Structure 1
């Protein structure tokens, strides 16, 4: 207190900080979603190729969704995939199909209309998501007006590697995101998907602030036998750089994300109800009610909305209801990455990044396109050659659908094979880095060194108390050194270097629990 600068007599209070600068834990679960959105416009300003931080799905709707007036009779569809029913001579061996009037029809999408980001963000928030970044690299492209070849993998030419890589590059200037997610990556070709994953892992290695969550091409409709080729393609195409910054989950998940109002006759045959009418109202089984509804859709004689016409068709035709239900189910099969990000966020908020995001259910998941057995998971969990571990999503009796794995892609590494270890280290590294910034340009002397040690030590003690570090005592869990003769030489000090050495014992998950049972011999009483 400056006693010489008081204008009047009286009593004055001078507050002195009782505590030194302290380290504060950085946020650990802020995903960045890169992909295509219904729009990217807010109050006349474009947000294409701009990383935007949001805190809720309502924020996402305000900026990246088409305007939806609450009194609108026909609200706009934020995502409107198109599907075709292709008649087959016999029961199809591959792909989804339905049977109507003794005829088989394969259900094939127009691949140009398939996108995943919108529904992935919805799943993220349903599963406990909070703050996130959205990088919209474009809006939906035009449809091709034809179905893809039956039995082939969906590749959307409107989704381009160039667009997504440009969006990824924008995150080089955003250190806050801790997870990178590209839901539409599996809509690229196998080779382009591999190039994207390699770039994501490289960027994570350079930034040291984020991990990438991947999905596997083919996980939406895996062959019960040949699915292993999809796994092999993935492992071949992920490269060898930054594997401890990568996480992958398999397969996709069947969800309840698409509702009845999201799919109608507009989503079939590119909106051509004439083709639809030939299936649900064939000449061999005429229905005058269906014919009248379809005629009114083609040549409106009233002001009925799409919703009203759709409801009329649902009531008039069981076959139409069946078609809509199946298309809704297929359109709701999504990459798991968005939901996983939500589970990670919820787990971090409840416990911390040191808790594995595994043995947990996924809200909204109601089915899996393939049920992985214990023996099948063994080949996913450990790969002797590449070491690229894949986390399974499995169905368990009476427990439902659970995330059943906690490994990074670096499965052969004793240091980095577990997700919570890698994420805890990112959390500690970035938190300590932020704490150390407070001492830039401070005197490089003993007082500063002791303050640094105390600041970081207090932070690590708190992490240890929460279960993030293992050890019977704080001294067993970590150590912090900073000083002349321990971490620095006199030359280091002259050159302006202050070196802090931190050692931590990170808690590893109990991945294998072995129960030993031994029959005890009867003893005499």
Structure 2
């Protein structure tokens, strides 16, 4: 001080606080109609969105799935029947389901998320794009806490597993997120002639980083795709002639006009004649929408065809729905609450109805790869009936909520402690850090994330010379903090014992 006067000095009285990081921010990797933000490409770049409207703004709409129609080889293989003649209905093209998975995510409570678009609807779904272009960009993003790849199940089985293993290794490296993995062919029964889908998944996945992932079985039938979204646009061009033929057979319309036929038959023939030409540039018949409405009114076969297509498109893997459930439970209760015994929205039924006995091997297995069941219950709907990670034999990381709560605690404290890097490694800094972490864990205990009748039973924080550090540590510039926490675990098995007693009066 050189000039006489009054000088004010402000001194901080309180240390920094720990801010709880977001716990429910999934990152979805897949294919979209486009990836554009005001003329700037978003391809292979994580983009944060908060609603389905924003998804459509940046990434476009749904793909148009085109189905082929062919005469069935036998009755067992037919999907629809017209006049005792069976037909198969199949989608031989690429099955892009990220768009519908996003709709399922938001239907189940989804919120902010990241989208990594690796291609558009003209690209082939490939392991290289999803793995090499989709996962690495997430290394630079700190916020995502889940990784979901709904289109992995449309790869070859070995490529699907390779992609899921890459997701596991990414989550283990980041230590801030978990993967939600779908079961390949998870719509099939376990006794399917092609093999047990659960055993195939367990045998192929390996044993690395299992505590950073959870998986659910079976796939689910949803109501995401509605009747009004389907029509002639979903019939492959080379099957339009077949469609015309089966409709003429159903409605009793001959190929050529017959003498004395009613005007109604003539009108039907003229109407059906437009079907094979709707994709031609010079098409001048009724609008496709009007043609759809007319066929829906006059043809039960056309309705059955659209119903089959709708069922096919609405059969979805459950990973996106579970990302929404995680978000819903986190927002309503907290990350420490197990995301189970919760009903799924926009889901009519699971693809496989699992019984109590059949779930035993899913939940508890010799090798520990627990698969969480999705089951229907009378009067309650379709519920998530499992809360385990794939590391089911680990007493540390058996439960999803324990794994995710620990991630939240670690990342929150890590972010807050970064402010003390390069501060003096002395008792003043140690006391400040300990006080900061103590305050944060006390609030977590009050919320119910940590278990104990008193705070001392729920957590402890140790830091200091002779406690967590040696003199050599201080010379090396190392400040060590040891934190012990008792995280809330779910009551997975409730046993009620009944015993008769002697009559007393």
Matched residues in 2 for 1:477 and 1:437: separation?
25
Contact map agreement 1:33 1:182 (CA 8 A) in 2: yes
Contact map agreement 2:216 2:371 (CA 8 A) in 1: yes
Residue 481, structure 1, aligned to residue 462, structure 2: yes
Contact map agreement 1:444 1:493 (CA 8 A) in 2: yes
1:142-221 matched pairs, under 5 angstroms: 158-166=124-132, 167-221=134-188
Shift in alpha-carbon separation, 1:352–1:252, aligned structure 2, 3 A? same
1:6-155 matched pairs, under 5 angstroms: 17-66=12-61, 78-92=62-76, 97-110=79-92, 112-141=93-122
Contact map agreement 1:290 1:313 (CA 8 A) in 2: no
Shift in alpha-carbon separation, 1:497–1:174, aligned structure 2, 3 A? same
Shift in alpha-carbon separation, 1:415–1:283, aligned structure 2, 3 A? closer
Alpha-carbon offset, residue 42 of structure 1: 2.4
Matched residues in 1 for 2:111 and 2:75: separation?
45
SS state of the match for residue 506, structure 1?
coil
**What's 1:509 paired with?**
490
Contact map agreement 1:224 1:370 (CA 8 A) in 2: no
Shift in alpha-carbon separation, 1:81–1:4, aligned structure 2, 3 A? farther
1:198-347 matched pairs, under 5 angstroms: 198-222=165-189, 225-226=192-193, 229-270=196-237, 272-282=239-249, 285-286=252-253, 288-298=266-276, 304-347=286-329
Shift in alpha-carbon separation, 1:317–1:172, aligned structure 2, 3 A? same
1:384-423 matched pairs, under 5 angstroms: 384=366, 386-423=367-404
Contact map agreement 1:80 1:262 (CA 8 A) in 2: no
Matched residues in 1 for 2:385 and 2:412: separation?
29
Alpha-carbon offset, residue 125 of structure 1: 1.1
**What's 1:519 paired with?**
500
Alpha-carbon offset, residue 225 of structure 1: 4.5
> Which runs of 5 or more structure 2 residues have no equivalent in the other structure?
254-264
Contact map agreement 2:69 2:242 (CA 8 A) in 1: no
Alpha-carbon offset, residue 108 of structure 1: 1.8
Matched residues in 2 for 1:297 and 1:249: separation?
42
**What's 1:464 paired with?**
445
**What's 2:259 paired with?**
none
SS state of the match for residue 449, structure 1?
helix
Contact map agreement 1:290 1:317 (CA 8 A) in 2: no
Matched residues in 1 for 2:177 and 2:420: separation?
25
Shift in alpha-carbon separation, 1:105–1:345, aligned structure 2, 3 A? same
Matched residues in 2 for 1:443 and 1:449: separation?
9
TM-score (normalised: structure 2): 0.92
Contact map agreement 2:450 2:486 (CA 8 A) in 1: yes
> Which runs of 5 or more structure 1 residues have no equivalent in the other structure?
67-77, 143-157
The alignment covers a number of residue pairs equal to: 489
RMSD of Structure 2 on Structure 1 (CA): 2.2
Shift in alpha-carbon separation, 1:208–1:132, aligned structure 2, 3 A? same
Matched residues in 2 for 1:474 and 1:406: separation?
26
> More deviation in 255-264 or 395-404?
255-264
Matched residues in 2 for 1:227 and 1:474: separation?
54
**What's 1:149 paired with?**
none
Shift in alpha-carbon separation, 1:203–1:353, aligned structure 2, 3 A? same
Matched residues in 2 for 1:187 and 1:199: separation?
16
Matched residues in 2 for 1:5 and 1:206: separation?
59
SS state of the match for residue 68, structure 2?
strand
SS state of the match for residue 214, structure 1?
strand
Matched residues in 2 for 1:283 and 1:401: separation?
38
TM-score (normalised: structure 1): 0.89
Matched residues in 1 for 2:194 and 2:110: separation?
31
1:440-459 matched pairs, under 5 angstroms: 440-459=421-440
> More deviation in 78-87 or 471-480?
78-87
